[in-house]
Amino acid sequence: MSDLLPSLLSAPYWGAVTLTLKLATVTTVVLLLLGTPLAWWLARTRSWLKKPVSALVALPLVLPPTVIGFYLLITLGPQGWGGQLTQGMGLGLLPFTFAGLVVGSVFYSLPFVVQPLQNAFEAIGESPLEAAATLRASPLDTFWNVIMPMARPGYLTAIVMGFAHTVGEFGVVLMLGGNIPDQTRVLSVQIYDHVEALEYTQAHGLAAGMLLFSFATLLILYTLNPTGRRARGGKQ
């Protein structure tokens, strides 16, 4: 245990912490921007495409992270269409960069943001929209002043779950980002490094910190947003 404190105060450790928090923050913001219109469409559409799109959104829930990381690595590599596109746009190749980690994290955490938002939008129903229409509110005004406030619990769940899930991911970030200090080495990869080096004391310290973070995240979520639990309880 005497080696634990110096390890937790070391530059590589704080570099991994900073990078992980930065990745989770950027990913959550991107997911909210992309997930809000997607969740709204899924909640409102009657198109036959709803089921296939819903299945694609939920795919990361059942697909191994390494599979997602592998195909993203191929797609964004020099021979993939994504890699050729980014190179043509002057962005270079995304694998083994922070931007590549963001892309992988967005794909992997997508259902944890889209599904809570979709459930929140579906729970609103038609009455508030019809009332706003009778007052001649524009669609954008209706969304910002009616839908968003009513969907606040869904947004809280989406933000917390998207952020926490990104903090804890491993397979996608290792496959797509590798293990580059201060660039792609996040906390989960740092723990993996310690285990590979048989540095179990340091691994215990980081793993325990992530365990406490995960528990605190869920505790805050259930404390601040008990609506979902009451609704589920009422259906039983």
pLDDT tens, position by position, 47-98: 999 999 999 999 999 998 889 999 999 999 988 999 999 988 888 899 999 9
Q: Are 165 and 96 in contact, with CB atoms under 8 Å apart?
A: no
User: 236 exposed, middle or buried (CB, 10 Å; 0-12, 13-18, 19+)?
Assistant: exposed
Q: Residue 232: its pLDDT value, please?
A: 36
Smallest CA-to-CA distance from 112 within 173, 154, 140 is with: 154
Which of 9-13, 132-136, 144-148 has the least mean pLDDT?
A: 9-13
Does residue 180 sit in helix, strand or coil?
coil
Q: Are 111 and 166 in contact, with CB atoms under 8 Å apart?
A: no
**How far apart are alpha carbons 127 and 138 in whole angstroms?**
16
Residue 194 clears pLDDT 60, i.e. is over it = yes
Q: How far is CA 182 from the centre of its chain?
A: 21
Q: Residue 210: its pLDDT value, please?
A: 86
Residue 1 clears pLDDT 80, i.e. is over it = no
The CATH code of the domain at 4-226 is 1.10.3720.10
**How far apart are alpha carbons 155 and 159 in whole angstroms?**
6
Mean pLDDT, rounded, of the chain:
84
For the chain, the distance separating the N- and C-terminal CA atoms, rounded to the nearest angstrom, is 48
Instruction: Give pTM, 2 decimals.
Output: 0.84
